[in-house]
């Protein structure tokens, strides 16, 4: 086969042949430049430690550290020229540093490898994303608490199987999501504590013979301690996987709430009115207001789930320690982090701006025989019926109401006594939805007093 026909096989972009393909597949600078600030912070800490331990001179360390700040200012100012030929952010920074300060730049990489360097940079970047996620979740929780306070005593239907079950309060429903996102907050905080160990100084995989001070660099970079095993340190991406796992669970919660907002804002429900900031009109139907932000949020969640699976797949078959496969650890994490923060911000905005339609909520709360359980409970308490018998009596009364085309409170006392003669007029005291929710005073129940207690608890937790 001729060289010409061989090159044609590579196709347009890679017409130069295998060299072009190898450069393209090997380079990560197109995306890992996002870690520039973390890379430079790690290098500055490393240079200071090399000087403190006498491995390089104080003068070289000072020149290196100042030169790195110049590189950072160029990157942040948009004047830095990234090179694909230099593969990644680490080599791009080091090459530019050499152009700026000359020979001392070559001393920076003493007693480290790109393996521990990239692990440190990536861990610092993920840690920053965890901090941002924690802040975003806290903001969302506060917006949910605001809604719960406003409607602590608003009645609405509670659902199972999307069928009317029992009346609850708007505040109780909002606080259910506070609990969900509270667990997300806890998971991110746990993940941050677990990952906060510095890989720097692990070198390629075996550590180094230089007399480095890993405690010093760990402290300078805000880590609690250095990693205890150099092999594990350069092979580990658990911190990224745990971030994606936490992000996936948070995303699932966001998607569940987005689904409810789509349903609730429909003409069939009218439980909420979405702000014009978070909904759009139809191009052809002027009466419509589409919950686009909630729908887009619901769809973007798939990208976060996908990132989690993708990185798990990258890591699942790798022997210790570092393999080039691990270069594929960043793009999906970057994308997931971007979409998580976007989703959190969008949901916080929607929750803050939405209006609960109290009258529609109350009207729906009383439909579908939602106080049937209250009737059964009354039969147990007041008539001492076994619950199974009370359940049967209640079912008969529901069937009667269905046949008459009315709800339970609209049955007459005579109707009820035709099913069980011991029923008294006092039964009507428990059939109203307001009475129903007020009676649910068990800890964590939907009674307005319980909702307000949980609001107060969460306010204390967030201060």
Q: Exposed/middle/buried for 115, CB within 10 Å: 0-12, 13-18, 19+?
A: buried
- Give the span between the Cα atoms of 73 and 71, in whole angstroms: 5
Identify the active-site residue in 6, 73, 282, 323: 282
- Give the span between the Cα atoms of 453 and 445, in whole angstroms: 10
Q: What would the two tokens of residue 376 be? A: 């059964």
The yes-or-no answer on residue 173 being catalytic is: no
Residue 97, number of CB atoms within 10 A of its CB = 22
Size (the chain), residues: 463
Strands 197-198, 225-226: pairing is parallel
Q: Which residues 6+ apart lie within 8 Å of 55 measured at CB? A: 110, 111, 210, 211, 212
Q: What is the largest CA-CA distance in the chain?
A: 100
Residue 282, number of CB atoms within 10 A of its CB = 10
The DSSP element (H or E) to which 53 belongs, if any, is none
- Give the span between the Cα atoms of 29 and 173, in whole angstroms: 46
Q: What would the two tokens of residue 245 be? A: 């796992």
The yes-or-no answer on residue 161 being catalytic is: yes
98: phi > 0 → left, psi -120 to 50 → alpha, else beta; which? alpha
DSSP 156: E
Q: Which residues 6+ apart lie within 8 Å of 321 measured at CB? A: 115, 204, 205, 231, 234, 235
Alpha carbon 392 to chain centroid distance? 45
Identify the active-site residue in 161, 209, 283, 442: 161
Catalytic residue positions, numbered: 161, 282
């Amino acid at each position: 086969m001729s060289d010409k026909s061989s090159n044609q096989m590579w196709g347009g972009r890679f017409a130069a042949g295998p060299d072009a393909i190898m450069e393209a597949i090997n380079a990560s600078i197109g995306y890992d430049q996002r870690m520039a600030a973390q890379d430079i912070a790690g290098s500055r800490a490393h240079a200071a430690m090399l000087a403190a331990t006498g491995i390089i001179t104080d003068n070289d360390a000072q020149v290196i550290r100042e030169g790195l700040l110049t590189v950072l200012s160029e990157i942040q100012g948009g004047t830095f020229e990234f090179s694909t030929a230099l593969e990644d952010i680490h080599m791009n920074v080091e090459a530019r540093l050499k152009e700026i300060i000359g020979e001392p730049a070559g001393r920076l990489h003493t007693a480290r490898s790109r393996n521990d360097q990239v692990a440190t940079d990536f861990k610092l970047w993920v840690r920053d994303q965890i901090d941002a996620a924690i802040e975003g979740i806290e903001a969302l929780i506060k917006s949910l608490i605001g809604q719960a306070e406003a409607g602590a005593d608003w009645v609405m239907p509670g659902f199972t199987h999307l069928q009317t079950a029992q009346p609850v309060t708007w505040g109780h429903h909002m606080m259910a999501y506070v609990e969900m996102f509270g667990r997300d907050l806890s998971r991110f905080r746990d993940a941050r504590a677990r990952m906060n160990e510095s890989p720097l100084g692990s070198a390629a995989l075996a550590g180094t013979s230089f007399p480095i001070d890993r405690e010093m660099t760990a402290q300078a970079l805000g880590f609690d301690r250095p990693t205890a095993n150099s092999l594990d340190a350069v092979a580990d991406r658990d911190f990224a996987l745990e971030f994606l796992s936490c992000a996936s669970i948070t995303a699932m919660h966001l998607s569940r709430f987005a689904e409810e907002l789509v349903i609730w804002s429909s003409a069939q429900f009218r439980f909420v009115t979405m702000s014009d900031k978070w909904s759009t009109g139809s191009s052809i139907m002027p009466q419509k207001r589409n919950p686009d932000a909630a729908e887009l949020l619901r769809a973007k969640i798939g990208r976060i789930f996908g990132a989690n699976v993708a990185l798990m797949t990258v890591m699942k078959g790798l022997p210790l320690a570092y393999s080039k496969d691990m270069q594929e650890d960043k793009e999906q994490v970057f994308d997931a982090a971007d979409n998580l923060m976007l989703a959190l911000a969008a949901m916080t905005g929607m929750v803050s701006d939405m209006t609960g339609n109290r009258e529609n909520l109350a009207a729906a709360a009383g439909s579908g025989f939602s106080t049937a359980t209250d009737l059964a409970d009354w039969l147990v308490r007041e008539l001492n019926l076994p619950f199974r018998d009370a359940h049967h009596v209640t079912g008969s009364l529901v069937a009667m109401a269905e046949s008459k085309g009315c709800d339970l409170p609209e049955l007459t006392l005579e109707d009820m006594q035709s099913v069980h003669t011991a029923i008294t007029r006092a039964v009507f005291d428990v059939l109203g939805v307001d009475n129903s929710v007020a009676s649910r005073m068990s800890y964590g129940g939907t009674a307005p007093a319980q909702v307000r207690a949980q609001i107060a608890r969460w306010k204390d937790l967030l201060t």
